[in-house]
A = this chain, B = another copy of it.
Amino acid sequence: MITPIRWEADRLLLLDQTLLPVEERVREHTRWRDVAESIRSLVVRGAPAIGCAAAFGVALAARESRARDGETLLADLEEAFKGLAATRPTAVNLFRALDRMRAVASAHQALPVPALQLRLLGEAQAILEEDLAANHALGAHGADLVPEGARILTHCNAGALATAGYGTAVGVIRAAHERGKVALVWVDETRPVMQGSRLTAWEMVKEGIPHKLISDVAAGFVMKRGEVDLVVTGADRIAANGDTANKIGTYSVAVLARHHGVPFYVAAPFSTIDASVPSGAAIPIEERDASEVRGTAGRQTAPAESPVYNPAFDVTPAELITSIITERGIFRPPYSFT
């Protein structure tokens, strides 16, 4: 079992995803600022996992405070809420987790400080456990959609590493594999950060799921050869109309799937749906540093003088999405989540 995030005694342990698959190293965090830095630098990544880590970040901030009463503690937490919220803009789970931690702090501010600290830690743990349960539930729903002998293509890593464990898109693959339905998983390597080759392929090896790694550019050719039965990806934020922000390249895969008549599924916990955002046009898209594209694993592969456009996400319009798989069931177009 892959455990990317766990609390132990007085600290948050995160499996350092920047070092996989070459090295499995766990980083310890006792300060919220270190958690924020680990989110920013992709030690922990994946929308649900970011939410869980940020919740524990707030719990750490509460323990770091020297406040003697709840009101002062709440004031102390403000910096952590702002700092953690400023790490990454696209995934909605981050903001949901912070809102939830804030609501708990606010509702229980009359408690003695040690009790309030413990309550916040308990809430972070609850967020983690709920995410894990949601993954298992949506995995089971999704597996119903997978035909026998399926050849499944996935992009990026929406696996155990991207969540509290088990995974969303990879949760569907895991559940289908447990039922003996998976013939092959095509793993897109997912430039520029290589979450497919570094993380999803690593999970496939760990679980013994048959897979083949391909460059992102080969996805269309593999579909053209008739070797993909369905695509499933995760989501960083789903708008009220079903438009879905996910890792850059997801949109291209969705267009290719449509061109080849291949079903394209999104798998995500229901909390990924952001009803406050009417369509994908309103989802902020994070742009990351040019160095991610100018090189890989620390080696330069482009001229230092070349300008770079490096969006970390794109938006797939609802009309290209066959179904959205959540723990509450499977949604089909036209999407309505109320």
User: B-contacting residues of A (Cβ < 8 Å)?
Assistant: 21-22, 186-187, 189-192, 194, 197-198, 201-202, 204-205, 211-222, 224, 247-249, 251-252, 255-256, 258-259, 293-303, 305-311, 314
Name A156's closest neighbour in chain B (CB-CB).
B217
Residues of B within 8 A of A302 (CB): 21, 189, 194, 197-198, 201-202, 213
Top 5 closest pairs, chain A to chain B, by CB: A217-B249, A220-B252, A297-B299, A197-B302, A296-B296
CB distance from A306 to the nearest CB of B (A): 4
Among B201, B214, B216, B296, the residue within 8 A (CB) of A217 is: B216
Q: How many copies does the complex hold?
A: 2
Considering the chains assembled together, what is the distance between the CA atoms of A300 and B296 in angstroms? Answer: 10
Tell whether A252 pairs with B252 under 8 Å between CB atoms, given A204-B306, A301-B197, A308-B213: yes
Contact partner of A211 (CB less than 8 A), chosen from B249, B256, B297, B306, is B306
Q: Are A220 and B308 in contact (CB under 8 A)?
A: no
- The residue from B21, B219, B222, B252 contacting A303, defined by CB atoms under 8 A apart: B21
Min CB distance, A315 to chain B, in Å? 8
On whether the beta carbons of A215 and B297 are closer than 8 Å, the reply is no
> Could you tell me if A205 and B310 are in contact, using CB atoms closer than 8 angstroms?
no
**Contact partner of A218 among B224, B299, B314, CB < 8 A?**
B314
Determine whether the beta carbon of A296 is less than 8 Å from that of B294: no
Contacting pair B201 A248 (CB below 8 A): no
